[in-house]
Amino acid sequence: MTGMPTGWALAPINTFARSRSGNSKLIKGQQAQEPAAGLFPAFSASGQDVWVAHPEHEGNAIIISAVGARCGKTFRATGQWSAVANTHIVWPEEIAVDTDWLQLLLNDENFWEKGGSAQPFVKVNATFEREIPLPPLPEQRRIARKLDTLSARSTTARSHLTAIEKLAERYRTAVLEAAFRTAWDAGCNTTIAGCLEHAETGLVRSKAEQTADEGYPYIRMNHYDLAGRWNDRDLTYVAATSSEFERYQLRAHDLLFNTRNSAELVGKVAIWPEGKDGYLFNNNLLRMRFSEDVVPAFAFWQMSSPPFRRYIEGFISATTSVAAIYQRSLMAAPFWVPDTDEQHEIVRRIETAFAKIDRLAAEAAKALKLVGHLDQRILAKAFAGDLVPQDPTDEPAETLLARIREERLSAVKGKRVRKPSA
Q: What is the mean pLDDT of each run of 10 residues along the chain (422 residues)?
A: 82 92 74 79 86 88 91 92 91 92 89 87 92 94 94 91 90 96 93 95 96 95 94 95 97 96 92 95 96 96 96 85 91 96 97 95 92 88 91 94 88 62 48
pLDDT digit string (tens) for 230-277? 999 999 999 999 999 999 999 999 999 999 999 889 999 999 999 999
Q: What residues does 92 pair with on adjacent strands?
A: 17
For residue 420, what pLDDT is reported? 53
The pLDDT score that the predictor gives to residue 29 is: 58
157-182 burial: b if 16+ Cβ within 10 Å, else e:
eeeebeebeeebeebbeebbeebbee
- Contact status, residue 215 vs residue 240, Cβ threshold 8 Å: yes
R_g over Cα of the chain: 32
Class of CATH domain 9-132 = alpha beta
The residue ranges of DSSP E strands in 329-399, in sequence order, are 334-335
Which pLDDT does position 422 carry in this prediction? Answer: 45
H helix and E strand count, the chain:
9, 25
Question: What pLDDT shows up at residue 1?
Answer: 47
Q: Quick check: do 9-132 and 190-335 share a fold? A: yes
Question: What is 190-335's CATH number, 3.40.50.300, 3.40.50.880, 3.90.320.10, 3.90.220.20?
Answer: 3.90.220.20
Cα 104 to Cα 143: distance, rounded to the nearest angstrom? 10
Domain definitions of the chain by residue range? 9-132, 190-335
Strand partners, 284: none
pLDDT tens, residue by residue, 67-102: 988 889 999 999 999 998 889 999 999 888 999 999
Alpha carbon distance 113, 329 (integer Å): 61
